[in-house]
Structure 1
Amino acid sequence: MSAVATAGLVVAGLSLAGPATAGGGRPGTEDLNRWATDTWRSLDAMTDEQTGLPADNVTGDLETPGDYTSPTNIGGYLWSTVTARDLGIITDDEARSRLSTTLDTLAGLERNDASGMFYNWYSPTTGEKLTTWPDSGDTVHPFLSTVDNGWLAAALRIVREAEPELATEADALYDSMDFGAFFDPAGAAGLPAGTNRGGFWDAAPPDCSVEAPMYNGSGETAYYTCHHYDTTVSESRIATYLGIANGQIPATALSGTHRTMPPGCDWAWQEQLPHGDYRTYDGVEVWEGVYDYDGMSFVPSWGGSMFESLMPDLLVPETKWGPKSWKLNHPITVAVQKQHGLDETGYGYWGFSPASDPFGGYAEYGVDIAGMRSDGYTSDAEKTDVDVDRPGCTTGTNPSPEFGDGVVTPHAAFLALPYDRKGALKNLHGIEDELDAYGPGGFYDAVAVKSGTIAERYLSLDQSMIMAAIGNELTKDTLKDYFVDREMEQRLRPAMKQQVFGSSWGSGNGHHG
């Protein structure tokens, strides 16, 4: 019987297993420990005992895991295992055994030899690279994703520090991954420095691709995505950080992404017309643009979702290393999400991010006005689009809409813990107690607040974000301590420290647009 199976089991009044009371006696600590224990139960249910690979998802009853996995899922499972150990949910020996099993499997997975990168889809039970989707039989064109490899590499950094007995195996995998393979020195159109592409195929796909010699100088040919990761507030920045820390890409990559799209009517397709200033970093001129919401100014993400903004902050000490950028932007991002859910829409709950759709499948949720994408991620099931004026350019077609059945996802609220602990806990208690969106593996993935429709399943990615957020909250950012070493700090921190976003709290009494 595993430690998870015995959690909460009591014999003769003695608990056989269960979480340590990490975090001291602060209000909410007991609930955070309970939520972490239940969340870990879902990750345990997803994971194949023989391979140590987690499925992408599992049904709400924890009985039926999915039949594919990705580097992000594997990375999230690795740091969740470390967190479960640090919170006392599993023993040191169990954690070490689990981590060792996963590392052994990773060492044998098929990879792209010229970059050391992992493909995007594998079978969690066999470790085989997928070339057809298990459910439909449709063809999979094996792809190597920049951001997914970033999350796996990030987790390997954590394992090597958190479990020294496995450092050699973790380092061997990590050191073989070359993020220079993703970095286009020419960058995206209209940007002043190089940036990453979304990834590549090692054989020509049927859709759009750019054939080019691999950027790392390996001499191999790659078929790159036609798009770059060209926005700053994106989960993809984890790969940029790692490339800089490893010396594989230049620190100027932080200037090769848009804070907002440039001002002016040529860019009036974006959600708002930004305001801001040009600043120069290491000879590179950057448009430091911001959007507005309720008197607050902030650097938006592409879709207006919480995980784009805050997922990298789980592992990277962004507010410490970016005192004039992320330290300002992160709490304002949380405030925008909260204001939208509670005040503008009247949902009564908040936390908008891509998640399982309560009405079937998967959907991208966010605060539309807080994302650059003009037909952006919406916060309700009706996909209510906000379209405001771009003064001097266009007139908004729907500046003050009536919102419908808002869809919130608990992982987004957990990401807000460092910036509004009290508000996040209150929100989560409501989702658990009033909306009843809680099951044997912790919070269900999403819930539509008006109809009460619940997505009764668990996603590996979202559960691993919850584990990391709780772990950081209760252990004072231990995951960040594992992730960072002196070399990373020396290469990355100065580049982040000089960034100055235009984010500000402002008057707080206006409205968006």
Structure 2
Amino acid sequence: MTANISRRTLLAATGTAALAGSAGLTTSSYAGTHGASGPAADPGALLRGGWHPSRAERALVGRWARDTWRSLVAMTDERTGLPADNIGESVTNPVRSGYTSPTNIGGYLWSTVVARRLGIISPQESLRRITQTLTTMTKVDHHDPSGMYFNWYDEATGEVLRVDPDGTKAITPFVSSVDNGWFAAALMVVRNAEPRARRLADSLLSKMNFAYYYNPDARPGLGAGLMRGGFFETPPPDEETDKGNHVGTGPDVYYRKFHYDTCNTEARIAPYIGIARGQVPPEQYFATYRTFPDSCDWSWVEQRPVGVHRTYLGIDVFEGTYSYRGMRLVPSWGGDMFESLMPDLFVPESSWAPRSWGINHPLTVRAHIEHGLDDAKYGYWGFSPASNPRGGYSVYGVDAIGMDPGGYPSDLEATNYDKGFDGCREGTNPNPTYGDGVVTPHAAFLAMQYAPGQAIENLARIESTLHAYGGGGFFDSVAVKSGLIARRYLSLDQAMVMGAIGNVFGGDVIRRNFSVGDVARRVRPLIAMEQFSSGLE
């Protein structure tokens, strides 16, 4: 496959794939319109009108979904209904990690909804599994004033971990904004997709107050603030924190000093939910950076952005973009698919925001394809944080479309791209030579909404040629030259696979059940007003 094919066929808006249904894989149709002009004009039009999978492709993706679900079942404790963070290669005799998180639990819940929608499990089994998990969550220890959950639990008992998941040191339980965002997102899906579990889901969701994370003073003088990374209920002995309470009532908590200050990150799911529920002001959305400013004071990032200033809700926004292979796009921190596209599993960002995400998401997918096939010449594509084939966990991405100066590399050698900051500093490695590329299958699944045929072909070759596949579906990552495979399954990554298949082949089952009610009323007009500077150069 060449870049020319990518250029002709890739740029599709959210949900423009009209998928024929068969054996539980049903038609998906999310019509989107684009009103941008100039360099950002409708890059999705080339595929609008529908990609129709063949019977063989539907059968192939159906098998992937069934095997992926098998890994999630293997991860899940039979008594608590909580999934482990990860298991090894075996799904028949799984060795569970001994810990889980609110994100993992949420991923299992929305995967159960998908499994039912695709006919993998019965409605009765779906209800039983969802009820079991939610019932456990009504009993686990959590930060009661905010209704939020701690970062780590023992999946077999539901007890809060007070030793880190590696078992190496004592920890103070942390209450993460993004992890609770994904759990709340799952509850919002469940309450609509499974009405028989609505009361139980609502009993958890109604207590969750995202105002605890919103710091109105994080960007003084701007007119809006930022979301905190999270807080501790009690002060940690080894970390400086900000004592306080952004809600103004109840006991103080101990905030981590970190804020999410960039827009193109998976963490935007938490303010989306907070805005939809009236807990976070809509101006927060525009307080995050699209890129950091184009002045030499910010020259430590990967490249100098180009863009214009626009005002939304009284907030001045620099609509900066990065350049890569003839594209201009809003970067994420690491240039990975997870940061850019995981929120899009829930919010139909491209169709709701055609002048911003509707341009940026397809370009992100195109950048991954061209990086893997034409720039680094790996022969495969799709890069996101995942298990390292050599052991442990690492971050992967297309470094050129990320802001991180250290880079999210796309290979085992951690090759760093640095273009330099025009007029301020020279680049250290503007033309890198790449080594043993590491592709992560869940990243290609996230891209399926935008490049369905190419994603399926890429994944089919990862299975058949690289053999990065087992009884629970795709292994977490594979190094394309050495053939090293991370032979384990991560519940979050498998849940992203299920969510992507559920949207593309299951009638937008995740988006359709999330993006209703207050989400549609408050989030849709908010993101619709923005125009990125993204487009083709």
What TM-score results when the alignment is normalised by the length of structure 2? 0.89
Are residue 52 (structure 1) and residue 81 (structure 2) matched?
A: yes
Equivalent residue letter for 1:67: G
Kept after mapping to 2: 8 A contact 1:192/1:255: no
Kept after mapping to 1: 8 A contact 2:211/2:279: yes
SS in 1 for 2:536: coil
SS in 1 for 2:364: helix
Q: Which residue of 2 aligns with 1:280?
A: 311
Question: How far 1:29 moved relative to its partner?
Answer: 1.2
Q: Which residue of 2 aligns with 1:132?
A: 163
Aligned positions of 1:486-505 closer than 5 A: 486-505=517-536
Kept after mapping to 2: 8 A contact 1:188/1:230: no
Question: How far 1:275 moved relative to its partner?
Answer: 0.5
Structure 1: tracts of 5 or more residues without a match: 1-18, 507-513
Choose which of 290, 294, 297 in structure 1 pairs with 2:328.
Answer: 297
Question: How far 1:492 moved relative to its partner?
Answer: 1.3
Are residue 23 (structure 1) and residue 26 (structure 2) matched?
A: yes
Which digits, 9 at most, give the CA deviation of each residue in 1:72-122, with x for residues without a partner? 000000000010011000111011000000010000011112211000000
Q: Which residue of 2 aligns with 1:42?
A: 71
Counterpart CA distance in 2 for 1:269 and 1:189 is 23
Are residue 61 (structure 1) and residue 64 (structure 2) matched?
A: no
Counterpart CA distance in 1 for 2:239 and 2:157 is 31
Choose which of 380, 400, 407 in structure 1 pairs with 2:438.
Answer: 407
Counterpart CA distance in 1 for 2:221 and 2:492 is 33
Change beyond 3 A, Cα 1:134–1:224: closer
Which digits, 9 at most, give the CA deviation of each residue in 1:273-307, with x for residues without a partner? 00000000011111110001011000000111100
Choose which of 298, 313, 321 in structure 1 pairs with 2:352.
Answer: 321
Equivalent residue letter for 1:347: Y
Q: Which residue of 1 aligns with 2:395?
A: 364
Aligned positions of 1:445-456 closer than 5 A: 445-456=476-487
Are residue 224 (structure 1) and residue 255 (structure 2) matched?
A: yes
Q: Which residue of 2 aligns with 1:265?
A: 296
Counterpart CA distance in 1 for 2:222 and 2:299 is 17
Question: How far 1:493 moved relative to its partner?
Answer: 1.2
Question: How far 1:209 moved relative to its partner?
Answer: 3.6
Question: How far 1:210 moved relative to its partner?
Answer: 3.0
Counterpart CA distance in 1 for 2:396 and 2:456 is 21
Structure 2: tracts of 5 or more residues without a match: 1-21, 28-51
Choose which of 33, 36, 41 in structure 1 pairs with 2:62.
Answer: 33
Q: Which residue of 2 aligns with 1:437?
A: 468
Which digits, 9 at most, give the CA deviation of each residue in 1:197-223, with x for residues without a partner? 100111112344432321122232111
SS in 1 for 2:171: coil
Are residue 459 (structure 1) and residue 490 (structure 2) matched?
A: yes
Change beyond 3 A, Cα 1:227–1:189: farther
Question: How far 1:187 moved relative to its partner?
Answer: 2.2
SS in 2 for 1:330: helix
Change beyond 3 A, Cα 1:382–1:333: same
The share of aligned pairs that are identical, in percent, is 53
Kept after mapping to 2: 8 A contact 1:274/1:290: yes
Q: Aligned pairs, how many?
A: 488
Choose which of 494, 507, 510 in structure 2 pairs with 1:479.
Answer: 510
Counterpart CA distance in 2 for 1:225 and 1:30 is 47
Counterpart CA distance in 1 for 2:527 and 2:243 is 30
Q: Which residue of 2 aligns with 1:16?
A: none
Question: How far 1:70 moved relative to its partner?
Answer: 0.0
Kept after mapping to 1: 8 A contact 2:242/2:256: no
Kept after mapping to 2: 8 A contact 1:386/1:400: yes
Q: Which has the higher contact order (CA 8 A, sep 6+)?
A: 2
